[in-house]
Amino acid sequence: MDALITAVSKANPSTVVVVQSGTPVAMPWIASVNALIHAWYGGNETGNAIADILFGNVNPSAKLPLSFPKRIQDNPAFLNYKTERGRTLYGEDVYVGYRWYEMLELPVHFPFGHGLSYTTFEMSGLKVEKKEEMLVTSILVKNTGDIAGAEVVQVYVSQKNPSIKRPVKELKGFKKVFLEKGQEKVVEVPIEIKYAASFWDEIRDAWIMEKDTFEVIVANTSAGDRALRANFEINATSWWNGL
């Protein structure tokens, strides 16, 4: 299949590749094709769905639920895949998905949350407010293209000076917004502050929310291209259990 795609794309620069798989696959030909649709497994109607997207009847507005690595060796579970004498090790710990690739600065084909459409969007005017126990992120999203479509506002949080090693950032909330051509809308993503800031303290056997500065990063992929940023403060360290 890789040889076929390579040959066809050389003969026709307008080649579109449609991949049906449940996971990322190797793409040695990716630089030579102009468009890629990852169709997953859509069931009986998947052919009609793919045709609607290819011929422009539907504007694709999906986002990847995982990162697509360049090599299988880059995958966080690569060294721990399969059992060894009945043991399954989760050596990647909390560094799964985009957290792994960001911590090691490994380039990927497509980052978590990535997804293009037949229109374009612009985000601006980020505001972050603490309202009692809630952190409310609001942002203006505008459809700057020629047709209606949907964008996903992704809200990540990064602790500035944690007492332990933590991921570069963590997804804490998201919201999908549908916009007509030229339409703009303020999108709010409310998150409980304790969920936005805490990590599990194994010594105390409880969640800990440390006194620190936290950065809110809003983008449309985990890669954070053209991300908007703001800060909030936790003024005192506290521990909590339950929900």
pLDDT in tens, the chain (243 residues): 999 999 999 999 899 999 999 999 999 999 999 999 999 998 999 999 999 999 999 999 999 999 999 999 999 999 998 888 999 899 999 999 999 999 999 999 999 999 999 999 999 999 999 998 999 999 999 999 999 999 999 999 999 999 999 999 999 999 999 999 999 999 999 999 999 999 999 999 999 999 999 999 999 999 988 899 999 999 999 999 998
- What the chain holds in terms of domains, given with CATH numbers, is 2-58 (no CATH), 121-240 (2.60.40.10)
User: What's the pLDDT at 52?
Assistant: 96
User: What's the pLDDT at 224?
Assistant: 84
User: What's the pLDDT at 50?
Assistant: 96
User: What's the pLDDT at 243?
Assistant: 84
User: What's the pLDDT at 226?
Assistant: 87
How would DSSP label each residue in 208-222?
EE-SEEEEEEEESST
How would DSSP label each residue in 105-174?
T--EEE-TT----SS-EEEEEEEEEEETTEEEEEEEEEE-SSS-EEEEEEEEEEESS-SS---S-EEEEE
